[in-house]
């Protein structure tokens, strides 16, 4: 049982005790002169005992186990028997108490008895109705709470699945780059493996939370860019501008890496001059990340895994920042541009 459930049960119990305490205390609060004696008090609060009995029998047992199980006729029958027994019980106890007159307020004994029976029956039927209403509300709140818990767990599971999909895709691209360095420059390959181990440590440990400091995410991006630079030629210009001060901003982990990966995958050419430009800045409570790169579309033979990271990114954004993000991609004169803005 969660802390919220315990608090809710405690609050409901306290509310019930308060309400019944006030009702049973009315004779003392509003009786003129001295407090009523025991027989007079018992006569006054006797209907409350039976009302409380009918209410809680329905509230805790009959409504949940009989009515909500679609046994409507059985529910009505049990309550009719219960009401008849309560009316008989009240009448029998009243007969035992001293001071019972033959008439009340000018009514004959027979008319008073009929009035008493009708009033008691009506109040008990009304009590059953109140119990049904309150039980229905409690049942609805419980179902709503369970639904929210299921949605939260499903959301968490979906996000975890998407994040774990990003990591193999990320490592696959990184290992491909390292593989290309092994024959060309073994020293650079060793350096790349060392840098990759730092990136792996971040993705497997530091990024395994709902939110991370933006400063850590920026450091991760810088390490990845340095790793990718090891295999680039002088024909490729890479420039990035990230904020030095992030003011404790928290962000969902691994949001920007698919965009950076995509720029290196499609923005670099071994034969032609190319560039990659990455900028991040804050405006009020809005975080902007802009990626620009020359565009060299891959042919069908070299599209393995293409688009997986971006698809996952858009799904994660919809789940993590619904209505709080904007994702725009454009292409103009061979330059591919992506702008991601998030309200943080």
- Hey, CA dihedral for 14, 17, 22, 28, is it positive or negative? negative
CA dihedral 70, 74, 75, 77 (to 10 degrees): 160
In 3D, which of 316, 326, 342 has the Cα closest to residue 165?
316
Looking at residue 76, its pLDDT comes to 92
Tokens 């409570």 belong to residue: 285
Tokens found for residue 215: 């400063």
In 3D, which of 296, 292, 283 has the Cα closest to residue 239?
292
How many Å apart are CA 281 and CA 247, to the nearest integer?
Answer: 12
Find the angle CA(166)-CA(203)-CA(156) to the nearest 5 degrees.
Answer: 65
- Are 50 and 89 spatial neighbours (Cβ–Cβ below 8 Å)? yes
- Are 188 and 231 spatial neighbours (Cβ–Cβ below 8 Å)? yes
Kind of pairing, strands 274-283 and 286-294?
antiparallel
Express each pLDDT in 193-206 by its tens digit.
Answer: 887 888 878 877 77
In 3D, which of 265, 274, 262, 198 has the Cα closest to residue 236?
274
- Can you say how many angstroms the Cα of residue 174 is from the centroid of all Cα atoms in its chain? 35
Which ranges of the chain have pLDDT less than 50? Answer: 35, 101-106, 303-306
Tokens 């308060």 belong to residue: 18
How many Å apart are CA 116 and CA 119, to the nearest integer?
Answer: 5
Q: Say how many C-beta atoms besides its own lie within 10 A of residue 262's C-beta.
A: 21
What is 190-246 written as a DSSP string? HHHHHHHHHHHHIIIIITSSS-EEHHHHHHHHHHHHHHHHTT--TTEEEEEE--S--
Tokens found for residue 305: 């895994």
Please tell me whether residue 37 adopts helix, strand or coil conformation.
Answer: coil
Provide the β-strand partners of residue 279.
241, 290
Which contacts (CB < 8 Å, 24+ apart) does range 40-45 have?
40/99, 42/93, 42/97, 43/94, 43/97, 43/99
How many Å apart are CA 64 and CA 68, to the nearest integer?
Answer: 5
Instruction: Name the pTM for this structure.
Output: 0.55
Find the angle CA(188)-CA(239)-CA(177) to the nearest 5 degrees.
Answer: 30
- Hey, CA dihedral for 141, 146, 152, 154, is it positive or negative? negative
């Amino acid at each position: 049982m969660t802390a919220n459930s315990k608090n809710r049960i405690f609050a409901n119990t306290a509310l019930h005790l308060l309400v019944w305490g006030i009702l049973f205390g009315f004779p003392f609060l509003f009786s003129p002169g001295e407090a009523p004696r025991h027989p007079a008090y018992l006569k006054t609060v006797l209907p409350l005992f039976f009302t409380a009995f009918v209410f809680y029998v329905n509230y805790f047992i009959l409504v949940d186990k009989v009515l909500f199980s679609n046994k409507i006729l059985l529910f009505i029958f049990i309550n009719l028997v219960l009401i008849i027994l309560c009316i008989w019980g009240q009448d029998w106890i009243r007969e035992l108490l001293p001071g019972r007159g033959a008439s009340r307020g000018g009514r004959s004994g027979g008319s008073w008895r009929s009035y008493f029976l009708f009033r008691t029956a009506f109040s008990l039927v009304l009590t059953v109705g109140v119990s049904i209403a309150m039980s229905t509300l409690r049942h609805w709140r419980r179902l709503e709470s369970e639904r929210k818990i299921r949605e939260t767990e499903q959301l968490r599971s979906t996000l975890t699945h998407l994040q774990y999909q990003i990591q193999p895709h990320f490592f696959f691209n990184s290992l491909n780059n390292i593989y290309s360095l092994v024959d060309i420059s073994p020293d650079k390959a060793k350096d790349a493996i060392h840098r990759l181990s730092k990136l792996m440590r971040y993705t497997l440990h530091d990024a395994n939370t709902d939110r991370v400091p933006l400063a850590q995410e920026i450091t991760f991006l810088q390490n990845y860019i340095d790793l990718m630079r090891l295999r680039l030629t002088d024909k490729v210009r890479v420039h990035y501008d990230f904020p030095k001060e992030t003011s404790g901003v928290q962000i969902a982990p691994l949001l920007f890496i698919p965009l950076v990966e995509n720029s290196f995958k499609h923005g670099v050419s071994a034969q032609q001059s190319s560039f990659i430009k990455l900028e991040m800045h804050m405006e009020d409570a809005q975080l902007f990340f802009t990626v620009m790169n020359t565009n060299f579309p891959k042919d069908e033979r070299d599209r393995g895994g293409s688009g997986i990271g971006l698809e996952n990114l858009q799904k994660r954004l919809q789940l993590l920042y619904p209505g709080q993000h904007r994702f725009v991609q454009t292409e103009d004169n061979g330059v591919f541009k992506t702008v991601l803005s998030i309200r943080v």
